[in-house]
Structure 1
Amino acid sequence: MWSKMVEPEQYFLAPTLHVPNSRLPILVYRDVLSDTTPRNILNTIEPNGWIKGGQWKTYKVPHFHTKCHECYGIIRGKSTYLLGVGPRDPEFDDQGRPYAMELTVQKGDVFVLPAGICHASVESWDDYEFIGLYPNGILEATGRRFDMNYGLRPPEETSSLADLSDAVPIPPLDPIYGIDGPLPRLWRQAARGISHRAKI
């Protein structure tokens, strides 16, 4: 039983020329895991329908998934992620606003990336390691853990990648708190608030 629910931080990223990103917010649950052993992370998150896809360290190549959302439970260390841009994207949009954001996470944190969000771990410390988990229904439907996209396709393909990402169902359960948790509520609110994406 949780003594206090951690309300996640929310971050929104607009599409770029080469990356769909998402209408749904990135969610970051700070210091939500007191026991960060792999066994405890799995015992905490897997009962809520998010299933282990792998256990990894720093991965510096920008990439995104269009067929699944992704949850990271951090076992040890600390890392800074660059989110929202691929290698061919400009740094700023035509209004001078940055496309990307940096997110630093550490042992005990959990964060969730909606389908379409480009991500790369650009710098890590203290033997950074995490478990990646994916909604169980998605794994069953696709027969694979995830697809890999690297932000290298021409801009005219970005809209179709966005359509694929938008079509991924919102999970019914929060990875930490289950049916009473914030993820389904926050993501449904975001989905209702944006009836269509801006076209590139």
Structure 2
Amino acid sequence: MALSPYDFDHFHSTAHEALGIFRGQARARLGGPNGRETVLSAGDVLVLPAGVGHASIESDDDFCMVGAYPPGQDPEIERGDPAQLEAAQARVASVTLPENTPVGGPLKSLWE
């Protein structure tokens, strides 16, 4: 599905996420509110393990990306509510590793 980036910090506790940038450029924060900023451009791919916070800080008007999730994993949006954090962390810990990586390479062995 084609997506525009969320401009607030969030994470997914029930799914890993792959994002492919196919138009424009954006500045994003990875790792939550105190995370690292990076510039994303057409052709970039992000593979985010469940529980990793991310947000768009700013983007071109024509910025667009596609999001994908492993089979059987349905993402939801978590915003880091302290009252729900313990339950979210338990869900993150139970998310299974995908059989294959969306872009190839040693990702699965790095996650293990």
Task: Report the TM-score when normalising by structure 1.
Answer: 0.52
Match of 2:80 among 127, 130, 151: 151
5+ residue gaps, structure 1: 1-53, 87-98, 139-144, 189-200
Q: Is the Cα–Cα contact under 8 Å of residues 20 and 66 in structure 2 kept in the other structure?
A: yes
Q: List aligned pairs for 1:36-185, cutoff 5 A.
A: 54-86=1-33, 99-125=34-60, 127-138=62-73, 145-154=74-83, 157-177=84-104, 181-185=105-109
* Distance in 2, Cα, partners of 1:74 & 1:114: 17
User: 1:58, 1:121 within 8 Å by CA — same for their partners in 2?
Assistant: yes
What is the CA-CA distance between 1:172 and the residue it aligns to?
A: 1.5
Contact 1:76–1:126 (CA<8 Å) still a contact in 2? no
* Deviates further, 105-114 or 121-130: 121-130
The structure number with the bigger radius of gyration is 1
Which residue matches 1:186?
110
- 4+ residue segments displaced more than 3 Å: none
- Distance in 1 (CA, whole Å) between partners of 2:59 and 2:89 is 29
TM-fit CA distance, 1:55: 1.1
- Structure 1 vs Structure 2 CA RMSD: 1.6
Write the deviation string for residues 3-23 of structure 1: whole angstroms up to 9, x where unpaired: xxxxxxxxxxxxxxxxxxxxx
1:198 is matched with none
- Return the structure number with greater helix share: 1
Deviations 1:75-133 (A, max 9, x none): 111111112235xxxxxxxxxxxx32112211001111111111111111261100000
2: CA distance, partners of 1:172 / 1:58: 27
Size of the alignment, in residue pairs?
A: 112
Which secondary structure does the structure 2 equivalent of 1:59 belong to? coil
Higher RCO, 1 vs 2 (CA within 8 Å, ≥6 residues apart) = 2
Structure 2 residue identity aligned to 1:83: L
**Structure 2: any 5+ residue segments left out of the alignment?**
none
State, as a whole percentage, how many aligned pairs show the same letter. 37
